[in-house]
Structure 1
């Protein structure tokens, strides 16, 4: 019993370190980007979103090297469901009048949904090969390339940011990334220990505890964005993070170590990710705003997802 509480306590400390180091990495990467006067959309979708995926990426890469890549996959898919429902829902509740959306930001909603379903289709046989990993990485890069080609339609004049030392910002960014990967290493260690201690499979801890913990950076960044009337920053960060997780990070994990996993992970969690994407985009496209009421619906979706995951895993665990 003492070991269980010790593992839980150390897991919480590791998650705290994961979140804080990701926040610092985001802060200093953003500071570097602003020195070159990037637009808000570029900053959020291409820079902040990339940095926001560092916790999930770190956990997944460490998991792959430690021989448990399925734990990383569960974390990535679970984190995406949390981003599309829990994060969007909470951010909508914190926003003064809901999350306002420019219609052109979701011009490629069909492509976005295809990107979300792509890893589900590749993993329907319960295996991700290196070839699958390459396809996922290429699909993610293609999506970002198409957005880059449309950049003039989204571009806004970036606000000037006070000058900061380039060397200092770069140094703090590197230190933050080192702390991030150390925190990710111990997050995997203590998650597995805690799961074993209470009799839960690692995959459940990855889906719930670690997934929620690793999506906190985009949650905090997005709340701050909508509170300061920069809704497009929040939208770009969350959607960009989901795309990177679903393609590039899963692809890198498969490249490092091809792996087998329970097909139920794709059938349940992967499908939930796709449905969450459909629901969120429908809400945003319907009236060009994600209202507080719709935010509550997304939160309800996430609670149902957690309950369903827990019940199904309990039922199928004796047979896997």
Structure 2
């Protein structure tokens, strides 16, 4: 066990940065190794792209939330989930739209964004119910969320059969050149898993100690530093896709990531370790997550394009939410 209290503040910041980097690289290595291994085993590339890769790219949030909850930092875990969803829309989509207006397919507007909205309401309702009942997001609520995650994965695979070529192209963009050997795949998986564990350990330990020294709440650390850090892979991928004019990858990453954050990460963590809920989050953060999801739907629906002006509004809204959250935590 690392004695973080004995480190200087500068060293804690350095460990935090190293932890974030390890999470980013670990998630990428795990996704590449798992996807390549599945392809070597002749699993359908569509299934690989929509299940294995989607789950693997959610591993930074999942491992971080698991370790945070196990160590008693429940507010940090919930803050990570909510903060990642706020950041994916407000920060990542906003920046991508400022770089180049993001065009939206009707499929997202008709199907996946409504699913995101329902998932957001379900996650919020289950958190509120758990809080009123015993102050926790418990195993029953977690199981409901996990069932939702499985249902969403099945839905994705069924829908993918109608657009196989598009999904295959997006899969190649996400994962790059597959690893050709089984040992190479296993190496990426093991290395990625170790990097995720190390990154989560360093990130949680250093951020919790910094929160104590700076007299700020763990929830705020989760909403900001941890959430942004675990979303860095999505940010990098979305910016790169925006520069190439690949709107589908930008919007698909954001919508899919938010759904998995709540259903898979929230459900998986609370099923194993019931999460204590900070009731103060219901005053701003949960309503803000619902609001920004509704605004995402409206932005997608109006003109089927997220304009640069709307991108600026999303970024400003994200900054305002975090500022007010910082003042009230």
> What TM-score do you get using the length of structure 2 for normalisation?
0.85
In the alignment, which residue of structure 1 is the partner of 2:158?
149
Tell me which moved more, 229-238 or 126-135.
229-238
Aligned 8 A contact 2:116 2:258 in 1: no
Any stretches of 5+ residues in structure 1 without a counterpart? 314-320
Q: Does 1:217 align with 2:246?
A: no
Deviation at 1:174, TM superposition (A): 2.5
C-alpha distance in structure 2 between counterparts of 1:32 and 1:286, whole Å: 41
Deviation at 1:59, TM superposition (A): 0.6
C-alpha distance in structure 2 between counterparts of 1:10 and 1:201, whole Å: 19
1:171 aligned residue (175, 181, 187): 187
For 1:64-75, what aligned pairs fall within 5 Å after superposition?
64-75=69-80
Give the match's secondary structure for 1:165: coil
In the alignment, which residue of structure 2 is the partner of 1:192?
208
Aligned 8 A contact 1:15 1:213 in 2: yes
Deviation at 1:68, TM superposition (A): 2.4
Q: Does 1:10 align with 2:15?
A: yes
Q: Does 1:266 align with 2:266?
A: no
Tell me which moved more, 102-111 or 27-36.
27-36
In the alignment, which residue of structure 1 is the partner of 2:3?
none
C-alpha distance in structure 1 between counterparts of 2:267 and 2:211, whole Å: 26
Deviation at 1:27, TM superposition (A): 4.2
C-alpha distance in structure 2 between counterparts of 1:284 and 1:162, whole Å: 32
Aligned 8 A contact 1:105 1:154 in 2: no
In the alignment, which residue of structure 2 is the partner of 1:59?
64
Deviation at 1:33, TM superposition (A): 6.5
How many corresponding residue pairs? Answer: 309
Tell me which moved more, 163-172 or 50-59.
163-172
In the alignment, which residue of structure 2 is the partner of 1:317?
none
Q: 1:166 to 1:117 in 2, by over 3 A?
A: farther
In the alignment, which residue of structure 2 is the partner of 1:204?
220
C-alpha distance in structure 1 between counterparts of 2:185 and 2:328, whole Å: 46
Q: 1:33 to 1:295 in 2, by over 3 A?
A: farther
2:119 aligned residue (115, 122, 131): 115
- CA RMSD for the aligned pairs? 2.4
Aligned 8 A contact 1:30 1:47 in 2: yes
> What TM-score do you get using the length of structure 1 for normalisation?
0.87
Give the match's secondary structure for 1:229: coil
Aligned 8 A contact 1:48 1:237 in 2: no
